[in-house]
Structure 1
Amino acid sequence: MAEDIKVIVFKLAKEEYGIEVDKVQTIERMLPITRVPKTFDFVKGVINLRGVVIPVIDLRGRFNLPENEYNDQTRIIIVDVDTTQVGFIVDSANDVVDLDRGRIEKPPEVVGGVKARYLDGVAKLDEERLLIMLNLAEVLNRSEVSQLENIED
């Protein structure tokens, strides 16, 4: 019997994505971002969250999706990638669902413009709703995580 997991649902370019709740530290409204030179294009900079400096990446930029203006729905999802806290900028995040892990299927090569290597799979929530599950270990590779760790110092 497959286990149920709790998943944070967020939107990016009209698609719904999911991250397991236990990998998420917090979800924040948009905060002032300090730009950092000589970083990857998708790295927007750093935020100061309650005294902790956290690198922030725009998932639209990471996945080569069209840019979008930030608005009052924009959120920063703070996650742990390896041992580094990273903020992911998303269009909105406002749902938590229980998901049977057995319902997560292998993703096709590209889903919603995002390459399969970044994904854990795709789950059908109901007849009209697909949830694209992110693989956090692949969203940032080791050298990218290492560079982000250096930003914090």
Structure 2
Amino acid sequence: MDSNQKLVHSEEVKDEIMLVEFKLGKEFFGIPVTNVNEILMPSPVISIPRSHAYMEGITDIRGEVLPVIHLATFLSITEEIQQEQDRFIVTEFNDKRVIFHVSGVEQIISVKQIEQPTELNNRIQYVTGIVRNKDRMILMLDFEGILNEMNR
């Protein structure tokens, strides 16, 4: 087997999982609906001096100041310069709210089967599963792992 190939095994999900499908560059990703509070048009962001490149800054959402993470930058994904489709996904993980800036939100999908990667390299270390939806693959990300990495 080529070292670039990934081994996957498919797993039936007990209950259907609802995912918000979104884009980063040309790639498709998913986040569980249960972790999404809302999806917004991008609003003005105040930069934080001396922060990581992926830390876009902070913004005010109805009186609550939230951090804005540019997810493509964190994952080293090249984006097309097409900002009219950009969205803020307001999420909540472990009682912490954070905004992920993405290239666009596609749809909400129902998932019954997830393929589990069994061999990962550093480039996809935050991928927890792969969902096939029609003609494309959607990568499920480990958002808690991403947030833990940011807090180191």
Question: What's the TM-score, normalizing by structure 2?
Answer: 0.83
Contact 2:24 2:79 in 1 (8 A): no
Deviation track 1:79-134 (CA, whole Å, cap 9, x = no partner) reads: 1132221111110003001101xx21123525xxx8332121101123x1211111
1:125 is the counterpart of 2:133: yes
Aligned residues: 139
Give the corresponding residue for 2:109. 97
Structure 1 runs of 4+ with >3 Å offset: 67-70
Give the corresponding residue for 2:60. 48
Identity of aligned residues (%): 27
Deviation track 1:33-60 (CA, whole Å, cap 9, x = no partner) reads: 0001122211000010111100001011
Give the corresponding residue for 2:6. none
- In the alignment, the residues of structure 2 paired with residue 6 and residue 15 of structure 1 have an alpha-carbon distance, to the nearest angstrom, of 19
**Pairing 1:1-153 to 2, within 5 Å after superposition:** 2-69=14-81, 71-100=83-112, 103-107=113-117, 109=120, 115-126=123-134, 128-141=135-148, 144-145=150-151
- In the alignment, the residues of structure 2 paired with residue 43 and residue 4 of structure 1 have an alpha-carbon distance, to the nearest angstrom, of 33
Q: Which runs of 5+ in 1 are unaligned?
A: 147-153
SS at match of 1:141: helix
Bigger Rg, which one: 2
- In the alignment, the residues of structure 2 paired with residue 45 and residue 92 of structure 1 have an alpha-carbon distance, to the nearest angstrom, of 19
RMSD over equivalenced CA pairs, Å:
1.9
